[in-house]
Structure 1
Amino acid sequence: MVKFRSMTSTYPMWRISLLVMLGLLLLGTAAYGQGAASLVGTVTDPTGLPVPNAKITVTNTDTGIVRLTSTNAVGSYAAPELPIGHYNVKVELTGFKTSERTGITLNVNDTVRADVALQIGATQESVTVEANALQVQSDTNEVSQTITAAQVADLATNGRNVIQLAALVPGAASNIPDFDTPMAQTQNRAIQFNGQRNDHNNWLINGGEAYDRGGGGILIVSPSQDALQEFKVMTSNYAADLGQSSGGMITMVTKSGAKQFHGSLWEYVRNDAFDANTFFANLNGQHKPELRYNTFGGNIGGPVPKIGHEKKTFFFYNQEWRREVNGSQINASSVPTAARGGDFSYLLPANGCTGGSCVQLKVPQTTDPAETAKLAQYGLTPGGIIPNNVIPSGLIDSNATALLKAGLFPAANAANNLYYAVTNQLTFYREETFRVDHQIGSKLNLMGSLLYDNGSQTQSPPLWAGGTYATAGSIMAVPSWAGVVHATYTISPTLLNEAAFNYNGNDLNITDFGLYQKPSGYTVPNFFTANKDNKLPGVSIGSPYNISYTPGWWPWYNTWRSWQGKDDVSWTHGKHNMKFGASWMHTHKWQQYQLNAGGQFNFNSAATGNGMADFLMGFASSYSEPASVDFVHISTNNYNLYAMDDWRISNRLTLNLGIRWEGIPHAYDSEQTASNFYPNLYNPAQAATFLPSGALDTNGPGFATVSGIALSNVKFYLNGIGIAGRNGIPNGLVDNHWDTFAPRIGFAYDLTGRQTTILRAGAGMFYERIGGNEEYNMGQNNVPFAYQPAPTNIYFDNPSTSYTSGQTAATPYFPANVTTVDRTYKIPTAIQWSLGIQQQLRQNAVLTVSYVGNSNYHQSEGININTLAQNDPNRLGVCGGTCGYAGAALNANLYRPYQGWGTIAPMVLGANSNYNSLQVSFRVTAWKNLTLNSAYTWSHAFDIIDGEIFSNINNPFNARWDYGPAGFDRRQVSVTSFIYKIPLFQASGSQALKSALGGWELSGIALFESGTPVSISGGPDNLGYGGGTSNRANVVAPVTYPGTRFQWFSTSSFAKPGPLQWGTAARNDVVAPGRNNWNVALFKAFQVKENARFEFRAETFNTFNHTQLGGPSTSVTAANFGQITSTFNPRTFQLGAKFLF
């Protein structure tokens, strides 16, 4: 690999960040909105007329902090941007009794109405009214739900992974694993809200974005469940002050200090000794994988007594450690022992083989005289058959032997040619949360928080690289942080300013271990000389085994920073509660390219009809090897303006109006080491000239050197290439669009006038920022800053030589694959709408029924534009032996429309999707000892591709061929969470019985959901387009569902499509098994003294140990087609102990 530049982080670490944050806090510098709430209301006299100039005192009963305001000329008041918590509202005016509303709970991002009807009398007299425990949303059309403090505290999450609770709301479809270690950089966050891609969600902590948009879209920190107060999940029609996202908006709020000191110590333990074994491990007589997981920590919060005479400064500090040894089972296909030595006779029907995996091995087609002579020594001729499917030992490549001997592909050790192993993932994680709240005078409130995580993880197969077996591994170490400072200043009773700053970052280091260096006997030469670590290539073996070895690209380094600022003004004028604001965000990422200097070999079965036979005989379908600059420097900017108005037209109707402008210029490489392929720049007259070996003639047309780059002495094929910042090419390689206005409109109408039945509707437009990875990938793969030759049909022992012709390129320059982005690059856009009704059933119960839908446009998709034409007569030859072609396989690169290039798959913003749903929510608080939250969703989501960056559609000629149910389309989801205080022995006359057996509580989550749809693959690529396509099977009979693990669906309903034919099966036309899962916890608090208690918790996941099947095998040519070989987790236990004071 070519060295570009070395780089070390010069940014201050988190402790310096903390000092900066505190300095800004003391100076009154502001930050993002802290996930606050608003209190609004109208004050009337006994006749119902509005009362102006009434004094309003809003008191936070947790801290004693007071906000003063007054009613305006139409009797309205508003107290915006209040910290979440519990409040009382007192109304005073001469001639009227003092009136007070108590017990008002403000949750994150809530707008709560507290109307007050005054009574004639003396001010010294008072009237107190207790607020409802649950209230309908009478002032907003937003589709959202709060995960309350009680749910955060009392619901069990597997591994204390608080993100799981976000899936408790209507419209959520979760694909998060049952147990997923809470570590930000590897944490699974695959929850789709209302049919949106999970990459379109946004995560906020204390109002600041905590989402790494510079790459794969990870959470920047993983907050402790015990550090969070609550969070809110907004899924549709959120207000105009929120943006940069079109999916779910999840805003978390940490705990804060209060008037009294509070704290806790805890430890949670998981151990495989507590757990049931998996279904398939039991079936195969295998032991449970090892699991040791401990979560322990403590927190404390309260007033800071030495600042002033009153308690106006409060702090909260939380620290948690997570220690995990997690053994994962590998149940993978393996190559039978006989086949590893070249004996594939078991694949012949005469030896009992049945089904699509049977094959007669053929002799690879070649015109290479040397290879033809070598084959002749064993009585073989090109295009003939290999007798008895036994490869002569003299034809087995020594490099293949060396890799098998080294253990690259372990032999089967379980029944049915399966390889079983247990590998341990080691995770060590420490998370800290620090928050300070301070009031200066009666008008200025300050808040600052910092979350700092530091973790390491060791695992095999390597992180992100994959691979079938645990033959190589990786060690990751990463510190990360998210800091927020925030100031709210009350200018007047009707005018408030809120300002903000947010700073996030992480530093990611990964090293490797295991089998990653070339073993003795492996002699394959590299194209380039930069393989300083002597790394092995990746090796992928196709049908029927579909196994791979991936060593990864370690050692590797990545660092990311984000700076965000925002200022908002809230103004109450008459019947209008208005808000205006502007925000800015800048991110920067320094990242090494994820390239394995050892290269990548693919053996797809085209040569012999069997991928392992291709490997053993040394006939590779393709090889790639990179040369590149070392680092990429990706920057992004966001600019946002908004205005919104909650217009209370009458006491029964509130209109929500808003407009937001999203300035989203494309990510760019600040070093201008990125390039792009533009079809309009390609000149057919400058098409490359091919050499007999399949390489390009570097002295031919289209080649040139480029000045001012690290590889300036190398001639590159540049036909169609544009370089960032040169010759009119934008720095971000695409055109920016600035007409991105997003209107929002909705209403809430009180049907009865008693705030018990509310009709709500809304619609809005939302824009989405695509992450920095598309720019990163372009620099990684594209000339002149990188070159990754990808020759096809070459010898394993000499990838510069074509096995079909025997021609060798002395200085190989093969057609490169190009990663690119369509220059028009329209911003991904969502149109969302909803119509629903909320009914207050009693003081503590609310039912909501809604229709929620959306349409999404300009979503990202990859489309290969350099395939062979549909009517190209050479497709059969390119397909080769896979299609039964009798001659030597043809080189696809010779017939592509853009000559000199391999596959060209630009990310275009042209995919559309849609979603429609019925959503029902029923919430009860403290009714006969029961708190319950039940959500049901009946929905349908359609798209043509589920993935985000550079996920290619299967058919580049007809996008409608890929249109179907989304891969995350769960048609029905019902999830209910509950907390129940068991009344037994509570009234017992025996103090001993009451203490021991009374006071127990049950909590749990019950999930019932239908399965996700899957597509039936047509097997190895037999379309002959030269890559960039994927086929599906033919449907030959109606699909039925036997519903067993041996045959989940009727496999006889599908058949392999004929050569060069698109399959007739629709995308995602088979549905995998659904789920029926209960997680239940039993816990009790034992009073130690008046202000201290000890809590014991016994938590179970999959409580009833119900076997829940995973997805079926979906390749029509696979030996286990239609079978299910995996399950969700069996019953597991988690024990916990807490001391609270």
Structure 2
Amino acid sequence: MSRYLPVLLIGVILLCGNAVSAQVTTATIAGVVQDSSGAVIPGVSVTTKNVETGVTRTAKTDEGGRYTVPELTLGNYEVEAQIPGFQTEVRSGITLTVGRSALVNFALKVGQIADKVTITEEAPLVESTTSAMSSLVDERTIRDLPLNGRSWDNLALLQPGVVSVGAGQGSAAFDFGTGTRFNVNGSRAYANSFLLDGTDINDHANGTPGGSAGTNLGVDGVQEFKINTSVSPAEFGRSSGGVVSAVTRSGTNDLHGAGFEFLRNNALDSPGYFDEVEHGGTGTKAPYRRNQFGGALGGPIKKDKTFFFGTYEGLRQGNGTTIGPEVPTAQTKLGIIPYKAFQGTDPSLYNCHPGDTACTVPVSPVIKPYLDLFQTPNTRDLGDGTAFFIAAPLQVTKEDYAMGRVDHQISDKMRIFGRYSFDNDTNVIPNFNGSSLADEHDVARRQYSTIQVTNVFRPTLVNSFRFAYNRTYQNFDDVLSDPRAEKLFFLPGEHFGTISFGGQGLSTNPLNFLGVDNGAPRIYRYNLFQEGDDLTYIKGRHSIKMGADIRRIQDNEITSSNSRGDYTFLDIPGFLTNKPIRFDAPAPGSDAYRGLRETMFGTYLQDDFKVSQRLTLNLGLRYEAISNPREVNGRMANLLNLSDPAPTVLKDSFFSVAKKDFQPRVGFAWGLNGSGKTILRAGFGIFHDHILPYSYAAFASGYPPFFTTLSDLTNPVFPYDTNLTAGPPPPPQFGGFPTGAIREAS
């Protein structure tokens, strides 16, 4: 497998809007202090105060009158500048959003320091110090905009350059991610990075996070998020697409809370056009019941020192679905079938001729209990021994989300916060794909935890360390819903498998498959351990940031197929007379569990150089490397050459990954005039997509010799095939290389 090609992003744009700076969860206040004549004033004491928590930070202007206060928590601020011989000036009404670098300049007047001038005015919203492009979804947008389903990631679709896309690789399932998929400026949906409080929350599929319900609840616990669309600073890596950075809410000195419930019910809906009898409907409405409820509470534990915030949200939904499997008629179950039912079996064996509508075929006693498992049709006979069973079973979804966060100001130079979020949800799809005896159960559990410590060593030197443990568990499997099937099985220790018609797999014709999904179960336990450290240093015109990040990836998964056995019958007569044409099942002793392991390392250096009041250069370099992917128990094999007779057992890793991912970032932001309202930006960057488990996990479980699917195409015996041999491999979608002698890599 080769590495994805680097993506080159070059953008030049004239705009009035926000752009992200090099902070993931914090913001910066910077500016210049001058006197009334325009001369810069060094040595001015500049104090920033978060008006909601009372936390303050102080810096002094340098010889050029410049000051910078980095790594500030988000919220509303006031900034005070004072020095003997001049009046004290206070700027209020400054709102810091994620990644913002607010420009707050002062023009001090001669006077007594006790004289105070307060200016209530928002700092200019146009970001004037970065070449990066982004869009902010702020707190007001999150709270006030109507959000159907209350999944905060849907707000990303309102941003420029973000386009919703379809499933692409597959349906919206755990294999490929269940969240809302979108492209950012043309990048692929699985090339995006998702950060929560600065730590990685991408799941094993590398798609938009989402549980079995496909939602990201907890909108009341998200303060805001920003989508970085192009030319990200060197601090950002891992992938070539967009960077979605969300920040959770924290408590303040005021106690605030909220509660809510949203109700939708078909009893409150008007009938649809096709529900009405005169338009072919039944006169009834499809069942739909949805309740979302919860609340949030935040406030002080100790004023100006310790704060808490917590939120809970629950979802309960029942949604009517439609199924229409093709099932045998009552006559077919008795062995009376028309000539059209013969779709491969020789009709002359049963004295059946073209035009005959009631040919007699003996029904095998072995087949009878399986034949009785089909639903009774409720539509007209299709003329081939089948009819449709139309029904609208209720799909039930349940989700519970909770998040708690505590912030503590240890001293005026050190603060710490910890956050834990938990999301547990289930989605029961009744009669999966028309199955008469099984429901699909999708189960997901997501747990995200982060601790971050920020130290202000001195006003110009700030360090931030973070640790995260994020875990996602996703499992879809079919659960038998018909008690009659509980004692019917094809393999020892397994429940009912799959019976296919016409071709192997989830057939729909000549009969709908009987049993369970032959691709189940799919189980993913994805653990991410992340440690990172960022150091910010302010020196004159330079704002330098450097750091390192390590992510340890554990993807424990089962993605086997045919694990419960899959019988295939050519047509209805072949089924009635118990003449299967193939049987697919794992070889005895096959183990589909795989523990995939990788470690990603990244380090960077970024310098934002203030050439003048109107021109800032953004210069950065990032280096990333990822370890060679391996399986923790040594179950690794691959077909190294197409001419090889069998896969090769690998010793150390699945394959080797190059370690040459240097990623320069260069850009500038130039104010075209002194108003600060018109900024010209240009940027260049190299970004890499890495070979993560989602790239190869789908086939890792199916590699011989550790897992082999055998096929009996000569003399399969139903329902217990004692003649199973290593025949030709099953269709490619079920994995597996040709079986044969296995050789070991040298």
Same fold? TM cut 0.5: yes
- 1:199 Cα offset (Å): 2.1
- Taking a change above 3 Å as real, the CA distance of residues 296 and 453 of structure 1, as seen in their structure-2 partners, is same
SS in 2 for 1:79: strand
Change (3 A) 1:184 1:257: farther
Map 1:839-854; keep pairs closer than 5 Å.
Answer: none
Residue 65 (structure 1) aligns with: 55
Match of 1:812 in 2: 725
Mapping 1:623-662, distance limit 5 Å? 623-627=583-587, 628-662=590-624
Q: After superposition, give the CA deviation of every residue in 1:796-840 in whole Å (9 maximum; x if it has no partner).
A: 756999xxxxxxx95511233698xxxxxxxxxxxxxxxxxxxxx
The answer to whether the Cα contact below 8 Å between 1:541 and 1:612 also exists between their aligned partners in 2 is no
Q: Distance in 1 between matches of 2:125 and 2:511?
A: 55
Aligned to 2:466: 500
Q: Deviations over 1:773-792 (max 9, x none)?
A: 45544442121101102456
Displacement after TM superposition at 1:770 (Å):
4.1
Task: Provide the C-alpha distance between the structure 1 equivalents of 2:511 and 2:179, rounded to a whole number of angstroms.
Answer: 25
The whole-number CA distance in structure 2 between the counterparts of 1:535 and 1:47 is: 85
Residue 574 (structure 1) shift: 1.9
Structure 2 residue aligned with 1:244: 238
Residue 590 (str. 1) matches residue 583 (str. 2):
no
Alignment of 1:196-207 (within 5 A): 196-207=187-198
2:565 corresponds, among 579, 590, 599, to: 599
The 1:500–1:615 alpha-carbon spacing in structure 2 relative to 1, beyond 3 Å, is same
**1:285 alignment counterpart:** 281
The residue matched to 1:655 in structure 2 has which SS? strand
Question: CA offset at residue 435 of structure 1?
Answer: 0.8
Contact 2:164 2:182 survives alignment (8 Å) = yes
Q: CA deviation at 1:675?
A: 1.4
> Number of matched residues?
700
Coordinate RMSD, CA, aligned: 4.1
Shift of 1:736: 1.4
**Structure 1 unmatched ranges of 5 or more:** 1-31, 348-360, 365-373, 381-385, 684-718, 802-808, 820-861, 867-897, 902-1141
Q: 1:722 maps to what in 2?
A: 648
Q: Tell me, in whole angstroms, the C-alpha distance in 2 between the residues paired with 1:443 and 1:654.
A: 29
Instruction: Give aligned-pair identity as a percent.
Output: 26
Q: Deviations over 1:47-86 (max 9, x none)?
A: 4343322211111111111111122233322222211111
Of 575-584 and 209-218, more deviation after overlay is shown by: 209-218
Q: Distance in 2 between matches of 1:546 and 1:173?
A: 39
Task: Tell me if structure 1 keeps the 8 A contact 2:351–2:359.
Answer: no
Contact kept? 2:562, 2:584, Cα under 8 Å: no
Match of residue 297 from structure 1: 294
Contact 1:184–1:218 (Cα < 8 Å) also in 2: no
| Letter in structure 1 aligned against 2:157 | A
Q: Which residue of 2 aligns with 1:563?
A: 529
SS at match of 2:669: strand
Which of 315, 321, 324 in structure 1 is aligned with 2:308?
315
Letter of the 2:198 counterpart: G
Cα distance change of structure 1 residues 266 and 392 upon mapping to structure 2, 3 Å threshold: same
Q: Secondary structure at the match of 1:230?
A: strand
Question: Which amino acid is the alignment partner of residue 459 of structure 2?
Answer: P
* 1:327 matched residue in structure 2: 320
Matched, 1:551 2:516: yes
Determine the C-alpha separation between the residues in 2 that align with 1:520 and 1:481.
34
Give the structure 2 partner of residue 351 of structure 1. none
Q: Deviations over 1:90-147 (max 9, x none)?
A: 2222333322322111111222222333333333334433434871221222221111
Query: Where do residues 262-273 of structure 1 align in structure 2 (5 Å cutoff)?
Result: 262-273=256-267
Alignment counterpart, residue 54 of structure 1, candidates 40, 44, 61: 44
Change (3 A) 1:387 1:134: farther
Written as runs of structure 1 = structure 2, the 5 A alignment for 1:327-366 is 327-330=320-323, 363=344
**Which region of structure 1 is more displaced relative to structure 2, 242-251 or 487-496?**
242-251
Q: Does 1:422 align with 2:389?
A: no
Counterpart-to-counterpart distance in 1, 2:551 and 2:692:
13
Cα distance between partner residues in 2 of 1:86 and 1:663:
39
Call closer, same or farther: CA 1:209–1:271 in 2, change over 3 Å: same
The answer to whether the 8 Å contact 1:322/1:429 transfers is yes
Paired with 2:612 and 2:23, the residues of 1 have a C-alpha distance of 29
Alignment of 1:668 onto 2:619: no
Task: Find out whether 1:460 has 2:403 as its counterpart.
Answer: no
CA distance in 1, matches of 2:538, 2:599: 32
Contact kept? 2:607, 2:619, Cα under 8 Å: yes
Aligned to 1:678: 640
Closer/same/farther in 2, CA of residues 337 and 669 from structure 1, 3 Å limit:
same
Partners of 2:738 and 2:557 in 1: how far apart? 32
* 1:213 equivalent in structure 2: 204
Matched, 1:275 2:269: yes
Tell me, yes or no, if the aligned pair for 1:787 and 1:816 is still in contact at 8 Å: no
| CA distance 1:345–1:538, shift in 2 (3 Å) | closer
- Is 1:93 the counterpart of 2:83? The answer is yes
1:35-50 pair list within 5 angstroms? 35-50=25-40
Distance 1:72 1:363, change over 3 A: same
- C-alpha distance in 2, partners of 1:293/1:759? 48
* Matching residue's letter, 2:234: A
Could you list the runs of 5+ residues in structure 2 that have no partner in the other structure? 1-21, 741-746
Matches within 5 A, 1:788-867: 788-790=709-711, 810=723, 812-816=725-729
- Determine if the alignment matches structure 1 residue 482 to structure 2 residue 443: no
Residue pairs, 1:44-193, within 5 angstroms = 44-132=34-122, 135-175=125-165, 187-193=178-184
Cα distance 1:401–1:491, how it changes in 2: closer, same or farther (>3 A)? same
Question: Any conservation in 1 of the 2:204–2:524 contact (CA below 8 Å)?
Answer: no
Q: Does 1:738 align with 2:665?
A: no
* Equivalent residue for 1:230, pick from 200, 224, 233: 224
Shift of 1:899: 7.5
Q: Does 1:765 align with 2:732?
A: no
Instruction: Give the Å deviation of 1:284.
Output: 4.1
2:376 matched to 1:450? no
- Asked whether the 8 Å contact 1:634–1:775 carries over to 2, the reply is no
TM-score when normalising by structure 1: 0.55
Structure-2 change in CA distance of 1:571 and 1:399 (3 Å):
farther
Amino acid at match of 1:639: F
| Cα offset, 1:400, TM superposition | 7.2
Q: For 2:267, what is the secondary structure of its paired residue?
A: helix
Instruction: Please give the per-residue CA displacement for 1:885-907, whole angstroms capped at 9, x wherever unaligned.
Output: xxxxxxxxxxxxx9868xxxxxx
Distance change >3 Å, CA 264–CA 119, structure 1 → 2: same
Query: SS of the counterpart of 1:196?
Result: coil
2:705 equivalent to 1:784: yes
Is the contact made by 2:671 and 2:680 (CA closer than 8 Å) also made in structure 1? yes
Measured after TM superposition, the shift of residue 639 of structure 1 is 0.6
Structure 1 residues 257 and 595, CA gap change in structure 2 (3 angstroms): same
Aligned partner of 1:1033 in structure 2 is none
Contact 1:618 1:795 in 2 (8 A): no
User: Aligned letter for 1:203?
Assistant: F
Contact 2:394/2:430 (8 A) holds in 1: yes
* Aligned counterpart in structure 2 of residue 533 of structure 1, from 468, 482, 495: 495
Residues 562, 586 of structure 2: 8 Å contact kept: yes
> Cα distance 1:84–1:163, how it changes in 2: closer, same or farther (>3 A)?
same
Instruction: Give the direction of change, closer, same or farther, for the CA distance of 1:626–1:182 in structure 2 (3 Å limit).
Output: closer
> Residue 141 of structure 2: SS of its match in structure 1?
helix
The CA deviation at 1:443 is 1.0
**In the alignment, residue 664 of structure 2 is paired with which amino acid?**
P
Pairwise CA distance, 1:324: 2.3
How many Å separate the matches in 2 of 1:363 and 1:431? 53
Secondary structure at the residue paired with 1:164? helix
Q: Residues 799, 292 of structure 1: CA spacing in aligned structure 2 closer, same or farther, 3 A cutoff?
A: closer
In structure 2, how many angstroms separate the alpha carbons of the residues matched to 1:183 and 1:61?
Answer: 44
What SS does structure 1 have at the residue aligned with 2:142? Answer: helix
* Cα distance in 1 for residues equivalent to 2:287 and 2:508: 32
